Every structure is written in C-alpha cells, then in structure tokens.
Structure 1
C-alpha cells in the first residue's frame, strides 16, 4: 500500500478531490491518503500558507495529489504553487494535451506533451519596484543547470515514448542571453539522443504553428513564462483546462495537480468537473508504477467522456460532480 499526500485545495478543490477518492476506492487502488492542505484556508485556520505538517508529509511520502489553490491577483501572498515548486526543486512541469473523443474541440489528432522549466526565469521572484519613479523591474534568471535539467527530462521522455522529435521554444533572437542559453544547452544535450530529432522555434511563431497545425508537435520544451502561456494554449487545443492533467516533478518529489483555478463562483454547488484532477491522478499512478490501475481508470474515464449525457455541465451533460464519478465507476 502506497501512502500519498493529498492536498484538497480550496474553492471546488475539496469536491473534485472527493470524486477522485471515490473512483480510487472503487478501483481498489492500493493507495492511502495523508491529507494536508495549503493556501488561504490553511492560513485562516493555522496561520501558515504552507504548514510544516505538509512539508513533513511531502518529504516523507515523496508523492502528492493537489487540488486547485486560489492565488490573489496583483496583491496578497505569493502563489503557493510557485512556492512549493521552488521549495522542493520541482523543476519539470509536465502537461500532456491529447484529443479525446467526446470532448468538443476545433482540432483533431493533437497528442503532445509540454515540458516547462518550473523554478527559474521571470518567476524567480527577483522583482524591484521604485515607488518614486513608478518603475517595476523583473529579472529573468536562467541557469545552465536549470536548462539542462528540463531539457534532459524532455529528451528522456521523447526517447522512452518513441516520440522521434522534440521542439525547443525560445526567444533567442531578442533575448541574446536569457533566451539563447536554453537553445545552446538543448543543442548540446541533443547529441546524447541520436534517435530524437531536435528543432527550435521562436516563441511567437510557435504559438502560430500550434493553432494552425498542432498535430506536427510531439514534445515541446521551454522556459518558465513561455511554458506557462503555451501550456494553457495547448489545453485550449483539446477542450480546456478542465480536461488536462499536470505534474510538477523533481529528482525526489512529485506533485500532481489540477491545473485549472479554484472556481469559487461554483464552489459548494456540486457541479464541478473532476476530469483534470482525475487525469493528474492517473499520471501519478503511472509515476508510482501502478500502471494497471491507471489504465483501468483511464479507460473508464474516456468511455464516460464519450457520452456527453453522463458528463458535467461544462462538457455538455447534466451530471453532478459525484454522479459523473459514479458514471466512471460503473465502467471500471
């Protein structure tokens, strides 16, 4: 039996978490949950955004499943997600985007994975604000070590899954240092993977290519800010943030998460779609080598998604969060 840290989050987080737990129970997944939380809800109750009990749980269990946590816009505390990534050096943000029968999209045959560097770049937290002059400076810190970690992770994935090609997205034509370093390191790492073709695209062209012919891409690797933008773009190609998985992975610890927001406007109504968190949980099962359980749940989920009437309202159905979960359970 494998123990996993469970972070329900806030907003709709607790509801979609319960749905995932129900599916896991029905599938007899050999996982036990150690529940800890973070964010505003935790701060209100114990006075800490990231309590020591959560840190201890992550250090012990090494794997976590996390629901959405609200981040204030332009004020308040720093993103809990960013803090956790930096605290545990979860340098690889991995976001698959795959066309699913039954989910409405403008595109077909999309099947790609984005590797986003997760701890550096413009999200390093190196910001200066001159109150008198009203000037804000943000420093994009990019390191050779950070570039090599994320690039090698992407190449390893491409090699393992026989993807054949990897695309490096950058802005080296303008950012001669911060943009070029990733590209230089990628060219060096590519020599260790002769079976994987490497190409590079300037980020603005990359965005255009993704919305014109997304099926040409298999594995994409890029820096933090560009990856944040591209990951949502790629989610939009296959139905939106409510149906895609996400993972933050380091050398020792991995946190799998729903990548959408906490949706406080529908919290408590029992209508939230748990697909993103369930798909992240399926990624987690593959990570801890429970592949048979992962495949069973994925097959049941996809069979349910193929029938709109059995889905939640955002997917065109009328099912509640838990009714949707029960529809998945009935197909295990």
Structure 2
C-alpha cells in the first residue's frame, strides 16, 4: 500500500513545491467561456502597450477575444460602432487617447465616461518589491467620481475676456461614489476610507459631497472614516503616504491625488486602474498617461507596459477569470522584483518587447 501511494504522494509534494493550488475558483456553468472585449489601441504609446497585453494574454491562452477599433483623440466624437461594441461586450481595454489642450474638440475620454455612465475611476497605487521608492508601505486606492465636478465641461464666455466655468456636484453622484468606495473597502478588507474635499472654501458644492460621504459612512461602522482638505492631502501624501488606505474624491481632486500617489509609489507607468459603471467597465493605465504623446518612446519602442498589464489582470478578475489574473499579476511582479528588465521610467533601458518577453518567460 505504501509503495502504491508513494508516486501519488511525490506528485502532490512536487505540485506544492511549485506553488500550484489544486482549487482556486469554483465557477458557475458557462463562466469559463471566452469573453469578447473591445480593444482601443489609442494614440502615442497606446498601440505599443496594448500590443504587449495581447502578446501576454495569447501566451497565457487567456479566454479573451478582442474586437479592435482605431480611435484617436483628435476625433470630434466616438464612432457609433465603437460605442455599440463596448455596450455589447460590457468590457473594454484602452490605450491612452491624446486630449487637446485649450481650444478644439472635447475630450473623448470624458465623452466615453458620460455615454457609458462610468461613474467610478479606480487607481491602485502601491509599492512593488524590487522597485525602490522614497516611501515604503504605500498601498493606496484612489476612487474618483468620474462624471461631474469641473469635468462637466460647462464653460462659456460671459463677455470678451471673462470666462465662466461651472462646477456641478449632485447628491445622487456623491452618494453613489461614496457607496462604491465603502463597498470596495468592505469587499477588499480595507480598514479606512478618507474623503478628500475643499469644503472650507466651496461650502455648498464640496459640502454636499461631504454630507453624502458622512451619510454612507454611518452604514459601514466597521470601516474607519475621516476627511481631509485637498491641499493638506497633497502635503500628507508626499510626506506620510502610508497613513492612507482608500480615498474617495470629487472629479478634479481625484485626478491630482491619483497622479501624486502614483508618483510616490513608483510612477504612472506601473499603476493599474479602470473606470466602471453599473453595466460597463473600461480598463486603462491608472494614472494620467502623460507619456501618450512622447514620440521618443514610440520611436525607440521603450514604453512601459507594466501599468496596462496590471490593468489587464484587473480586467481578467472582473471577467471572473481569477486564476489567469493571478498568474499574470505574479509574472509581472516577478519581473519587477528581479530587476533585469525595466524601461527608462523604472531606472532601466529595456524596450517594451524585452519587458514583454521577460513577463512571458515568468508565466510558467
């Protein structure tokens, strides 16, 4: 009996030593079917980093099929067929889109968020072992209201030389982003939610946002809640970021806070994120893609694919493919920890393709 069971025992020990898990996820029937995802390569480095994601997902044999559409930031509006594709597929992976500064067409990013009601933006800013940063123990999730505030685009010239810009804050949008933040904290075993505001000056607009956050916080007694003025928040972020856990913000502040937190934790090139609504989700680089228009990165093919690869892991988890998400995330983090293959923003000199090849090698 002992001799018969020995080969089985050796196989089990071997699997355990390889770090494999025998049971990770019990899907409902049909959940393993391949999912179609809308893919928008975008502008600048977008095609490079979305191409990197495609290579890695193909190497993993991930159950994802892409519908690809060419969209560029200088377009006046989204082509109807692209919007129809995202509505049909429910999920989109997107490279950065260049947004004109000053006059010209309106931001396609804002158009998409409003069209699909992607009211919550989530950026996960955390340290990665092997990537040195000024601060340790940074693990911040910035949840930003995505559809109103200063981004409403309600501007007009009253008289020549005088422009009026309206900041719109509603009870409905403030409540639902607060609920999303606390629900996220609850489901992800987070301990604290911090509301970022400027209610000392914008007493009605930001006051309404705070009132909504307080009402929602009262329904989650197990999660600590506090508030911080946005200018103090930025100072605290760069001096003691480890004090923050989940942060919930109005639209404009969230953009500033997320990029600051990303810079502290290793840079925008390694921070994943996405935009989500009731019915649809769009995954993209978490913090502002400031290098979208960097032609040098495009010519040298040295754009950092890490942020979008980690966003793709978030996408796979959203699609209920957790084992694939874990495998991708683990491979990316192993490459970062090893430190042999890094793009310039991470202190190296490697190309996008060299980083991709290293990630694929770590998948097995």
TM-score range, shorter chain: over 0.9
Q: How does 1:114-133 map to 2 (within 5 A)?
A: 114-132=142-160
Q: How does 1:103-252 map to 2 (within 5 A)?
A: 103-132=131-160, 134-252=161-279
Contact 2:73–2:100 under 8 Å retained in 1: no
Residues 184 and 40 of structure 1: CA distance in aligned 2, closer, same or farther (over 3 Å):
closer
Q: 1:97 corresponds to which residue? A: 125
Q: Distance in 2 between matches of 1:323 and 1:149?
A: 42
Q: 2:96 aligns with which of 57, 60, 68?
A: 68
Contact 1:6–1:64 under 8 Å retained in 2: yes
Residues 209 and 267 of structure 1: CA distance in aligned 2, closer, same or farther (over 3 Å):
same
User: Residue by residue, what CA displacement relative to the aligned partner does 1:282-328 show, whole Å, maximum 9, x if unpaired?
Assistant: 11111111111111111110110123321223222232111110100
Q: 2:337 corresponds to which residue? A: 306
Could you say what secondary structure the match of 1:16 adopts?
A: helix
Q: Distance in 2 between matches of 1:193 and 1:178?
A: 24
Q: 2:44 aligns with which of 11, 35, 38?
A: 11
Could you say what secondary structure the match of 2:348 adopts?
A: coil
What TM-score, normalized to structure 1?
0.95
Contact 1:286–1:294 under 8 Å retained in 2: yes
Structure 1 residue 294 corresponds to structure 2 residue 322: no
Q: 2:61 aligns with which of 1, 11, 28?
A: 28
Q: 2:30 corresponds to which residue? A: none
Deviates more, 1:285-294 or 1:115-124: 285-294
Could you say what secondary structure the match of 2:238 adopts?
A: helix
Q: Distance in 2 between matches of 1:215 and 1:152?
A: 23
Contact 1:309–1:316 under 8 Å retained in 2: no
Could you say what secondary structure the match of 2:152 adopts?
A: coil
Structure 1 residue 51 corresponds to structure 2 residue 79: yes
Deviating above 3 A after TM superposition, structure 1's stretches of 4 or more consecutive aligned residues are none
Q: 2:294 aligns with which of 264, 273, 286?
A: 264
Q: Distance in 2 between matches of 1:205 and 1:157?
A: 24
- Displacement after TM superposition at 1:40 (Å): 4.1
Could you say what secondary structure the match of 2:174 adopts?
A: helix
Structure 1 residue 85 corresponds to structure 2 residue 98: no
Q: Distance in 2 between matches of 1:263 and 1:305?
A: 25
Structure 1: gaps of 5 or more residues = none
Contact 1:103–1:238 under 8 Å retained in 2: no
Contact 1:12–1:268 under 8 Å retained in 2: no
User: Residue by residue, what CA displacement relative to the aligned partner does 1:219-266 show, whole Å, maximum 9, x if unpaired?
Assistant: 000100111110100111111111111211000000011241313322
- Displacement after TM superposition at 1:131 (Å): 4.6
Contact 2:38–2:85 under 8 Å retained in 1: yes
Structure 2: gaps of 5 or more residues = 1-33
Q: Distance in 2 between matches of 1:86 and 1:104?
A: 38
Query: Which has the higher Rg, Structure 1 or Structure 2?
Result: 2
Contact 1:38–1:80 under 8 Å retained in 2: no
Contact 1:15–1:268 under 8 Å retained in 2: no
| Count of aligned pairs | 326
User: Residue by residue, what CA displacement relative to the aligned partner does 1:155-210 show, whole Å, maximum 9, x if unpaired?
Assistant: 00111112121101111111111010111011111121111111111111111111
Q: 1:283 corresponds to which residue? A: 314
RMSD: 1.3
Q: Distance in 1 between matches of 2:136 and 2:63?
A: 35
